[in-house]
A and B are shown apart, each in its own frame.
Chain A
């Protein structure tokens, strides 16, 4: 599902990723760990075309990304098939939870409002938020917001889901409710790459753990061996 081949990236002239190679099988869950500044976020951003890289290539969900600027059509095709969940949620504050989830299916996939609404309602139920569909992000707790963000990404029915520290800005109680959703996704066979500092979660959910430090893969293996 994902093949990263000798990927290198620079930011402001400094190398941030060096010769990173990575392979994720369909249905597998890869957890990225490593010290701050190691390049984990940058790698995820390269996978969904939000960041450019300078060498190597990425095969993801049947699309190919090469070094340098990529055609807009390729980027959009990749992003349609790859969902992303951010540490800061990045929900759209002017829309209700339901509208947050409905928006992309409507404008990107061209779904009719009834179809988009049905899909969004189902997803909100799946993350346990059906009663909060009409609320705005500002009326939801952090954990609820992150679950809406997950539902929003899932609404595009992505082949791959990327999570960048989804629980780092949450307190332990809320962390639990978000991780439960992620674990449920893993069980359902969703291919995922997750950046997290939560080793307990990594041990439970990861098919493979990859450790990044100073832009290089320094270790990889089963969660039990590495952590």
Chain B
């Protein structure tokens, strides 16, 4: 099963390669006009009030940006067509899949450097949200540790809120990043997080759904949203700018925001008076490495920790499952076959999600496990199903005569298994088991969905804050290889050592 985060990194790499090679060409204005369609990208998972599936008909999209995209397209004399994408990767779609991105993209120095950024169309500010009965009552409390150590704060992955919170003293604020906007609010409601930080308009929109939560302090650290286009489509960027200008001038933007209860008049004043963001400088490669490598290494350490803790657990559980199925009573075999099929038949990501987000809501037995524990548990259980099948095949491959010979010597069934059958089965199982171990190194990247900061997650954050997708993907890939390559070599040596002499080709 492939990890979404890993996939994201590979697409990032692929798109970057394609862009460097000049393979993908973003559509210029004339091309858009000829096609009669403006393809705009957004993530409907990001939620309201920006872009979200209509409650009465999930196939239809709602949101002020849906209407804005329609209005811009209309000014360009074309139709608007929606393109779905993961929010933190939307800009990468500009390589040829989409003409522009309209989805609460904050204007930042890095984006000003790497993309075409339109004039502002909306002003946001960050809002701290906490439980009404929680310990966090003023924003100032976030500068020092809380009663239980650092404040646990949830943010949307790759958002301005994440950048802002990660810039704070780690002793005071521990940041957890989520892929969905509402996930962090749910975790605050559940008492796992002390606070969530998000764009003010999002909380205003969803406040009724979270009556237990309240805003802490006033919105702060304001900024503006911009329509992103590719750097090499300046005419399209200019046309979008012009369209936005007329929408402001003729009052239709203000009317739009009033219709969405977003304070049209104030929005018009805020975007009129917003300060220009200066583009960031391109970092020199050495300097870039110096900045990112320590953080990436931290991620690599987490990846190693996840794999070396989870895999032995998976081996032990898998072995117990295999032996119970092979040598235990029939009903146990049946029960465990259900266990194995459920774990093999559903995605690891879903299992992690269930353990971390859904388990706490199960009545009576529900517990909220910390992210790292959830990750280890999820990986170990998922892999135990695969390992148990490998061992079962190994156990079956050991002739029955071996078991009988051991019994005939007076050994108990357990002793016969332990000293005679399992060691032989283990030799048969060793190659597939070790290749699974290497696979697990890569599967750990899925754990980022439950906020564990492993290597791929670190890559995601760094590539978004620096904009250097390609270079960082290469560095990250090298780090993964540095972990799996020595492992593969060690495994080959181990295999050779465990092979009884006289059976190998070398004799």
**What is A's interface to B at a CB cutoff of 8 Å?**
48, 50, 72, 75-76, 79-80, 82-84, 86, 88, 90-94, 103-104, 107-108, 135-139, 152-153, 156
**Which of B404, B405, B413, B420 has most A Cβ within 10 Å?**
B405
Interface contacts (Cβ under 8 Å), in number, total: 70
Kindly report which residue of chain B lies nearest to residue A84, judged by CB atoms: B408
Task: Specify which chain B residues have a CB less than 8 angstroms from the CB of A107 in the assembled complex.
Answer: 411, 415, 419
Residues of B within 8 A of A136 (CB): 500-502
Besides A76-B410, A94-B500, 18 other CB < 8 A contacts? A50-B404, A75-B407, A79-B407, A79-B410, A84-B408, A88-B401, A90-B402, A91-B405, A103-B409, A104-B411, A108-B409, A108-B410, A108-B411, A136-B500, A136-B502, A138-B500, A138-B501, A153-B408
Instruction: Compute how far the CA of A107 lies from the CA of B416 in the bound complex, rounded to whole angstroms.
Output: 10
Is the beta-carbon distance between A48 and B401 smaller than 8 angstroms?
A: no
Determine whether the beta carbon of B410 is less than 8 Å from that of A156. Answer: yes
Chain A residue numbers with a CB within 8 Å of B409 are 79, 83, 103-104, 108, 152-153, 156
- Interface of B, helix, strand, loop or mixed by DSSP: helix
Q: Provide the B161-204 mask, 1 if CB < 8 A to any CB of A, else 0.
A: 00000000000000000000000000000000000000000000
Is B410's CB under 8 angstroms from A104's CB?
Answer: yes
Please list the residues of chain B having a beta carbon within 8 angstroms of any beta carbon in chain A: 399, 401-402, 404-413, 415, 419-420, 423-424, 427, 500-503
Q: Report the separation of the CA atoms of residues A214 and B415 in the bound assembly, to the nearest whole angstrom.
A: 36
Residues of A within 8 A of B500 (CB): 93-94, 136-138
Chain A contact residues: helix, strand, loop or mixed = mixed
Contact B501 A79 (CB under 8 A): no
The minimal Cβ–Cβ distance linking B187 to chain A, given in whole angstroms, is: 50
Check A50–B408 contact: CB distance below 8 A. yes
Q: Find chain B residues with CB under 8 A from A94 CB.
A: 423-424, 427, 500
Q: Is the CB of B424 within 8 A of A138?
A: no
A50–B412 Cα distance when bound, in Å, is 12
CA A79 to CA B413, docked complex, whole Å: 13
Given contacts A92-B420, A138-B503, A139-B502, contact A80 B410 (CB under 8 A): yes
**If A108-B411, A108-B415, A156-B410 touch, does A86 touch B423 (CB 8 Å cutoff)?**
no
Complex Cα gap A83–B409 (Å): 7
Contacts of B427 in A (CB 8 A): 94
Task: Evaluate contact between A90 and B407: CB separation under 8 angstroms.
Answer: no
21 inter-chain pairs at a CB distance below 8 angstroms, sorted by A residue, are A50-B407, A79-B408, A84-B405, A90-B401, A90-B402, A90-B404, A90-B405, A92-B402, A94-B424, A104-B409, A104-B411, A107-B415, A108-B409, A108-B411, A136-B501, A136-B502, A138-B500, A138-B501, A138-B503, A156-B409, A156-B410
Report whether B405 and A92 are in contact in the complex, using a CB–CB cutoff of 8 Å: yes
Are the C-beta atoms of A139 and B501 separated by less than 8 Å?
A: yes
Find the A residue at minimum CB distance from B418. A107
Query: Which single residue of chain A is at the shortest CB-CB distance from B504?
Result: A138
B403 to A, closest residue via Cβ:
A90
Chain A residues with Cβ under 8 A from B399's Cβ? 90
Closest chain-B Cβ to A152's Cβ sits at a distance in Å of 7
In the complex, what's the smallest C-beta–C-beta distance from B4 to chain A, in angstroms? 41
Query: What is the CA–CA distance of A89 and B103 in the complex, to the nearest angstrom?
Result: 73
CA A93 – CA B500 in complex, angstroms? 7
The answer to whether B502 touches A138 (Cβ under 8 A) is yes
> What chain A residues lie within 8 Å of B502 (beta carbons)?
136, 138-139
Query: How far does the alpha carbon of A82 sit from the alpha carbon of B405 in the complex, in Å?
Result: 12
Chain A residues with Cβ under 8 A from B402's Cβ?
90, 92
Q: Which residues of A sit under 8 angstroms from B411, Cβ to Cβ? A: 76, 104, 107-108
Question: B424 near A93 (CB under 8 angstroms)?
Answer: yes
* In the bound complex, CA of A91 to CA of B407 (Å): 13
In the bound complex, residues from chain B placing their C-beta under 8 Å from that of A82 are: 408
B408 contacts which chain A residues (CB < 8 A)?
48, 50, 79, 82-84, 153
A72–B407 Cα distance when bound, in Å, is 11
CA distance A141 to B464 in the complex (A): 67
With a cutoff of 8 Å between Cβ atoms, the chain B residues found around residue A91 in the complex are 405
Residues of A within 8 A of B413 (CB): 72
**With contact pairs A86-B401, A92-B420, A103-B419 given, residues A76 and B503 touching in the complex (Cβ less than 8 Å):** no
In the complex, the chain B residue whose C-beta lies closest to that of A87 is: B401
Q: How far is the CB of A155 from chain B (nearest CB, A)?
A: 8
Residue in chain A with minimal CB distance to B413: A72
- Cα–Cα distance between A91 and B405 once the two chains are bound (Å): 8
| Docked CA distance A75–B402 (Å) | 17
- Closest beta carbon of chain B to A72's beta carbon, Å: 7
A108 to B411 alpha-carbon distance, docked (Å): 6
Residue of A nearest to B501 (CB): A136
A2 to B503, CA, bound (A): 41
- Measured CB to CB, the closest approach of chain A to B344, in angstroms, equals 29
Given the complex of chains A and B, what is the CA–CA distance between A135 and B502 in angstroms? 9
Distance to closest chain A CB from B154 (angstroms): 52
- Which one of B401, B411, B500, B503 has the greatest number of beta carbons of chain A within 10 Å? B500
Q: Can you name the residue of chain B whose Cβ is closest to the Cβ of A103? A: B419
Q: Least Cβ distance of B424 to chain A in Å?
A: 5
Chain B residues with Cβ under 8 A from A152's Cβ?
A: 409
CA A137 to CA B401, docked complex, whole Å: 15
Residues in B neighbouring A92, C-beta threshold 8 A: 402, 405-406, 420, 424
Nearest-CB residue, chain B, relative to A105 = B409
Specify which chain B residues have a CB less than 8 angstroms from the CB of A79 in the assembled complex.
407-410
Q: Which of A48, A72, A92, A153 has the most CB of B within 10 A?
A: A92
Of all chain B residues, which has the CB nearest A108? Answer: B410
